[in-house]
Amino acid sequence: MRKPFIAGNWKMHKTIEEAVSLVRALKKELANVEGCDVAVCPPFVTLPAVREALEGSDIGLGAQNVHWEDEGAFTGEVSPLMLVGLCDYVIIGHSERRNVFGETDEWINKKVHAALAHSLKPIICVGESLEQNRAGETEPFVGGQVRAAFEGITAAQAKLVTMAYEQIWAIGTGLAATGEDANEIIGSAVRGTLADLYGDDVAQTMRVQYGGSVKPQNVAEFLSQPEIDGALVGGASLKAPDFSEIVKKGLAAHLKQ
């Protein structure tokens, strides 16, 4: 059985002070939770303070983006080398990076290579738009995103990657997919593509999160599905009681399977 993994993507929220107070609360609320990997992904500028505040806790830390070069004339970017020793994980290819900031499949692949070369564990996001879903293009589109992200990545490296399937119209809208729909798409387009690339044994070891309007009220619907190993939580990860409840309810639903 794959160990569940629930991560909070804070996006562009929280000052340093607010970030520290949120993780202090999470440390307390999640102190006795075992059997689930948990991570928070705050904005870059708060990472050092959050790292310090997390000392003595099992909560992991992730960045929300990374450049692929170690250094250079790339104004406004943060390199993988700068994240070494600071983060365990890095989110790559979030739909907001793809759609608002124009990140391409090729860039995302370069970022995956760079992260793995620096022992940062990627959380690679994929997902289709509402139009693509309605046009029946979900499987080829999401499958294509997975193939492109893993170009040149070995099976041993792939095992270090977590996938996050986030339907674009479910993000921040309250319109989550049904557990069954998400399970089916993850099984075919995400894990199915990974099995084509690396074989079933490798694909079965890799964790796939669902993301998009995950809340304490609906997390069990997703984590009780056989193909869904966790959640990537946006809005509901910004409040300690909500995120803690998501972790506890999600873990309980996963264990009941």
233 makes contact with ligand 13P (CB under 6 A): yes
Site string for ligand 13P, 182-211 (x = CB under 6 A): -----------------------------x
Measured CA to CA, the distance from residue 198 to residue 22 in angstroms comes to: 39
φ, ψ for residue 82, nearest 5 deg: -70, -20
Closest C-alpha among 228, 141, 150 to residue 194: 150
Measured CA to CA, the distance from residue 58 to residue 207 in angstroms comes to: 19
**Amino acid at site 43:** P
Catalytic residue, from 67, 94, 113, 118: name it.
94
> Is 184 in the active site?
no
Among 171, 177, 206, 220, binds ligand 13P (CB under 6 A): 171
The contacts of residue 19 (CB under 8 Å, 6+ apart) are 10, 42, 43, 46, 49, 50, 53
φ, ψ for residue 41, nearest 5 deg: -125, 85
Among 37, 128, 166, 229, binds ligand 13P (CB under 6 A): 166
250 makes contact with ligand 13P (CB under 6 A): no
> Is 166 in the active site?
yes
9 makes contact with ligand 13P (CB under 6 A): yes
Using an 8 Å Cβ cutoff, are 110 and 68 in contact? yes
54 or 125: whose CB is closer to ligand 13P? 125
Q: What is the token pair recorded at 92? A: 């790559």
Q: What is the token pair recorded at 75? A: 């104004």
216 makes contact with ligand 13P (CB under 6 A): no
Min dist. Cβ of residue 7 to ligand 13P (A): 8
Min dist. Cβ of residue 66 to ligand 13P (A): 15
Among 153, 235, 240, 254, binds ligand 13P (CB under 6 A): 235
Measured CA to CA, the distance from residue 84 to residue 107 in angstroms comes to: 20
Site for ligand 13P in 84-113 (CB under 6 A): 94
114 or 214: whose CB is closer to ligand 13P? 214
Among 145, 183, 213, 218, binds ligand 13P (CB under 6 A): 213
38 or 198: whose CB is closer to ligand 13P? 38
Closest C-alpha among 45, 38, 117 to residue 84: 117
Quick one: angle between helices 138-149 and 105-117, nearest 10?
40
212 makes contact with ligand 13P (CB under 6 A): yes
Residue 72, CA atoms < 13 Å, CB-side half-sphere: 7
Q: Which residues are catalytic?
A: 94, 166
Q: Which residues bind ligand 13P (CB under 6 A)?
A: 9, 94, 166, 171-172, 211-214, 232-236
